[in-house]
Amino acid sequence: MIPLRKFLATVALFVLIASACSSEGAVLATIGTDPDTTDITESDVGSLYESDSIPTGDTLRNALFALVARVVLIDAAAADPGVTLDPAVVEQLFEDMVAQRDAEGVDTATWLGIPDASEEMMRFNAEVAVLRDMVIKALVDDPAYLDELFANPIPITTVCVKHILVGTELEAQDIYIQLRSDADFAALAEAMSLDSAPGGDLGCRLAGVYVDDFAAAALAAPLNEYTEPVETRFGWHVLIVSERTTPTREEVIADPIAHLTSAESSGLWEDWFNVALGAAVVTIDPEIGVWSAAGIIPPTTPQE
């Protein structure tokens, strides 16, 4: 599960509250085409906040975009890849959020970092988080994707690495020779490395968190042997890999969030929802703006 306070990319609701400028319950957006449509109203926007007022201007457009996106993505997930949002999982995550908020002794707005936010906004984020994880799991469970992933398993392979970083190849060659002559790695790292990792120890991480050249070297290096100098944009490295673990296809399918880098899983999700939002048919109240998959575009002539 993604962190409780992480919101859907491009649909974050960082807003300031202002007085509503039209009547309660007015339709602000319509999703789909007749007869299969869904309306988003002022009441829907208002439910996200504790006060009786709703945002205006760009803040209203951001909030409305988020609510439209939720409907579009839930419908798109049901159609492809065939994912139905699980209310029980959403409720459990929502309860976890409430418990964490209460444990911190703050109100909902403070916990979310959004002025005047209501628990409905918290539930909105729970829905998005659960949908995201379910969609990623479904997308990963695709033989073509898995074939490509395991052909270059950098995003899923954990490597335990120590390294010494220097500025020139000559320095790196000298360090490599000293290490091969049984020099103390930690002492050399403390004395010579441009990296601040204590003793040069980077710990055990997914290789995909490193720059490509370093990650490739960490995957190719024989275990417990010092590598020849490796160049990256940061300089020259001599590294040693003590452990390397790649999950099985079955393990990745069972829990992709645990086994993929955040960049890999976020990329899957963002590629999918961008397509879904791009295909959506949405009509926005012209006084608010015009729908686009990247956000609601303000009216050409300001209406506020």
Total-model pTM: 0.81
Do 31 and 135 belong to one domain?
Answer: yes
Label residue 287 by pLDDT band (50, 70, 90): very high
Picking from 5-14, 38-47, 132-141, 264-273, which range would have the lowest pLDDT averaged per residue?
Answer: 5-14
Is residue 299 domain-resident?
A: no
Do 92 and 46 belong to one domain?
Answer: yes
Identify the pLDDT of residue 4. Answer: 34
Mean local confidence (pLDDT), 278-293: 96
Average pLDDT, the chain: 90
Do 120 and 268 belong to one domain?
Answer: yes
Identify the pLDDT of residue 1. Answer: 38
Mean local confidence (pLDDT), 121-131: 96
Do 71 and 107 belong to one domain?
Answer: yes
3-state secondary structure labels for all residues of the chain: CCCCCCCCCCCCCCCCCCCCCCCCCCEEEEEEECCEEEEEEHHHHHCCECCCCCCCHHHHHHHHHHHHHHHHHHHHHHHCCCCCCCHHHHHHHHHHHHHHHHHHCCCHHHHHCCCCECHHHHHHHHHHHHHHHHHHHHHHCCHHHHHHHHHCCHHHCEEEEEEEEECCHHHHHHHHHHHHCCCCHHHHHHHHCCCCCHHHEEEEEEHHHCCHHHHHHHHHCCCCCCCCCEEECCEEEEEEEEEEECCCHHHHHHCHHHHCCHHHHHHHHHHHHHHHHHHCCEEECCCCCECCCCCCECCCCCCC
| CA 177 – CA 228 distance, rounded (Å) | 9
Identify the pLDDT of residue 14. Answer: 33
Structural domains of the chain, count: 2
Identify the pLDDT of residue 7. Answer: 38
Is residue 11 domain-resident?
A: no
Identify the pLDDT of residue 12. Answer: 39
Scanning the structure block, which residue is given the tokens 């444990």? Answer: 103
Is residue 73 domain-resident?
A: yes
- Report the percentage of the chain scoring pLDDT > 90: 84
Identify the pLDDT of residue 53. Answer: 79
Picking from 21-25, 127-131, 146-150, 194-198, which range would have the lowest pLDDT averaged per residue?
Answer: 21-25
Is residue 67 domain-resident?
A: yes
Is residue 9 domain-resident?
A: no
Is residue 34 domain-resident?
A: yes
Identify the pLDDT of residue 85. Answer: 93
For residue range 173-229, list pLDDT tens digits in order: 999 999 999 999 999 999 999 999 999 999 999 999 999 999 999 999 999 999 999
Label residue 302 by pLDDT band (50, 70, 90): low
Q: What is the CATH number of the domain that holds 264?
A: 1.10.4030
Do 43 and 90 belong to one domain?
Answer: yes
For residue range 73-108, list pLDDT tens digits in order: 999 999 999 999 999 999 999 999 999 999 999 999
Label residue 54 by pLDDT band (50, 70, 90): confident
Do 264 and 134 belong to one domain?
Answer: yes
Do 237 and 269 belong to one domain?
Answer: no
Do 182 and 41 belong to one domain?
Answer: no
For residue range 222-262, list pLDDT tens digits in order: 999 999 999 999 999 999 999 999 999 999 999 999 999 99
Identify the pLDDT of residue 301. Answer: 66
Mean local confidence (pLDDT), 268-279: 96
Identify the pLDDT of residue 55. Answer: 81
Is residue 140 domain-resident?
A: yes
Instruction: Domain of residue 185: give its range.
Output: 158-245
